Structure 1
């Protein structure tokens, strides 16, 4: 059955649409009281993420509350290294931790590409259940962390402020880092394709930490892997194009390179002007972004004003494509009523910028 609202997918493919679609990174999350209730019922974050019924429930919560133009699978970017047997846990106040970080040759040799039909089946089961529950209302976005971003957590053993262990490996043993990235690249490609086969209408690669690299290192160790993933993705299902989005936080130095990586859309953060990006790369890809999430703390009136500025910065859509989003994930302390004002303003104000 055709989607009742396919504005998001058409925008990614730079087709004419009546308004600018909107969805929000981390839209299913802690800022919603209904999410917190489900999380408490599940018992822990991992119990929530690994239960297809709970994952479906929290995926639908924001799209039931707001007229968003896309849903995004509720999961975590660290599902792949967890399926590799690295022992993922989430400690209160400390974030993700791996019991077996990958820091030497022996650990690298034990890495493998997880079978999505085995240890990651709970993710594809969630995709199937979410698609059934959405009932063709709006598209579903599948996602993965980028090969380099996954490697950061795997090598550091968790979160890091300076990625010292990653960069030490990069400069002392680049051969080991490349072996990790080769496995991750194959794993991310397989994982995203499994989500597509299960029903995802589009996929997104989150390169959260690629921007921490030196200029040439980003091209070699992050973007090259992303390009390989994009080239290996399923491009069409049931006669419909499956668009892909790439988002690197801190991408300003590499905009032209990212736009040429083969993805249909490029996400950008709030440190760049959408108008400047368009002038730099033309309308070669759809742009996604890019309001600062902190603006949501300013209240509905200011949010409406700032949303208009983002839309005006992109300008008349013409032959381009724009998907409104935040420049990064929505903060857990955001007022849900402010999000309602944002979605309403984007839908209404953007109409004058479409032919």
Structure 2
């Protein structure tokens, strides 16, 4: 029995005494203890070592008191399992020396046995659950097929993912082949995460907002919908699309348990677009955590007032930034916890 089930109750739409609170990328670069491990172990070593992943996952629960843990990992472990050899280059980020941009290369991409290739993730989940000892729920996550596709075709991060989009528009047949392979792998991966013990899953569509509403339907949402359909009876699913306010109405009827909202969409608009029928999560601008703690507290209480305390999970509108002072992150969490 969970000692703190606020998050799961909010996902069900139940009335709660206050909203639950967590932060995307909460187990990360703003925490001094995380930085110590970063200097000692490279990125994917941290992801692939269950003991390290567990330690990092639990840091924000212990240190700033969030209501839910999210497993420390990365969206790129999925393409790595598909024999797409990503590395994490210092100062650059995700890097693929041989981008997937030909029919031959796409045909060579494997749909792996996730239990074999990603066993370290499931071991980390089991160890994290044991170490958490029922204190808070645990979220597992994956990148949306479109977001992973962007990195696979572009070969690295980008301001506009022009190469990825050009490939979609010039060879949509091949683009859909790769997107489907990523989707099939992601479904198997998330199902295995649920089997290993996560309490909910989140799909991160970080680059969905790069697409027009019509192209979003074709190259992103149709694949996210497949994942929701496959997972919704196994565990609650949260769908988050950065810059995808135009799809909120459709997302709200998708079978997901909650929808993430970024800071470019007001709570009022988000509630209107979703007909107040679904739990919403978000949406403080991550840069706003650079404001003085007193201002953070005021803005958080205003945010909760606008969303309403029920059917709501307090969060940022995207991942926490590495230059946020820990006491400012603490102010955000404490502001939610002190809400009346």
Shorter-chain TM band: over 0.9
Does the Cα contact within 8 Å between 1:269 and 1:328 map onto a contact in 2? yes
For 1:79, the equivalent position in structure 2 comes to 77
Rounded Cα–Cα distance in structure 2 between residues aligned with 1:316 and 1:340: 20
Partner of 1:18: 17
* Structure 2 equivalent of residue 344 of structure 1: 334
CA RMSD of aligned residues (A): 1.1
Deviation at 1:27, TM superposition (A): 0.3
In structure 1, the gaps of 5 or more residues are: 237-241
2:98 equivalent to 1:107: no
| TM value normalised by structure 1 | 0.94
Does the 8 A contact of 2:81 with 2:114 survive in 1?
A: no
Partner SS state of residue 117, structure 1: helix
Q: 2:273 maps to which residue?
A: 280
User: What is the aligned partner in structure 1 of residue 144 from structure 2?
Assistant: 146
Distance 2:273 2:89 in 1: 43
2:247 aligned residue:
254
Query: Corresponding residue for 1:289?
Result: 282
Q: 1:239 matched to which residue of 2?
A: none
- SS of the residue 1:118 aligns to: helix
* Cα deviation digits, residues 301-350 of structure 1 (max 9, x gap): 11101111211111353xxx00000000000010001111111111111x
Deviation at 1:40, TM superposition (A): 2.1
Aligned with residue 229 of structure 2, among 223, 231, 238? 231
Q: CA deviation at 1:234?
A: 5.8
1:327 aligned to 2:326?
A: no
SS at match of 1:311: helix
Deviation at 1:41, TM superposition (A): 2.6
Pairwise CA distance, 1:155: 0.5
Question: What residue number does 1:9 align with?
Answer: 8
Aligned to 1:155: 153
Partner of residue 296, structure 2 = 303
Residues 1:29 and 2:28 are matched in the alignment: yes
SS in structure 1 opposite 2:221?
A: helix
Structure 1 position 202, deviation (Å): 0.3
Q: How many residues align?
A: 340
Partner Cα distance (1:18, 1:190) in 2 = 36
- The alignment partner of 1:141 has SS state of strand
Q: Which residue in 2 is equivalent to 1:205?
A: 203
- Residues 84 and 111 of structure 1 are in contact (CA less than 8 Å); yes or no, is this contact kept in structure 2? yes
Indicate conservation of the 8 Å contact 1:114/1:120, yes or no.
no
- Contact kept in structure 2, 1:124 and 1:194, CA below 8 Å: yes
1:164 to partner: Cα distance:
1.5
Partner of residue 175, structure 1: 173
| Structure 2 unaligned residues grouped into runs of 5+ | none
Q: Secondary structure at the match of 2:226?
A: helix
Q: How many Å apart are 1:198 and its aligned residue? A: 0.2
Instruction: Tell me which residue corresponds to 1:270.
Output: 263
Separation of aligned partners in 2, 1:126 and 1:39: 18
Which residue is equivalent to 1:67?
Answer: 65
Paired with 1:63 and 1:344, the residues of 2 have a C-alpha distance of 13
Q: Distance in 2 between matches of 1:52 and 1:247?
A: 26
Q: Contact between 2:83 and 2:110, CA under 8 Å: does it hold in 1?
A: no
- Residue 120 (str. 1) matches residue 121 (str. 2): no
Moved more, 117-126 or 138-147: 117-126
Distance 1:111 1:204 in 2: 24
Aligned to 1:48: 46
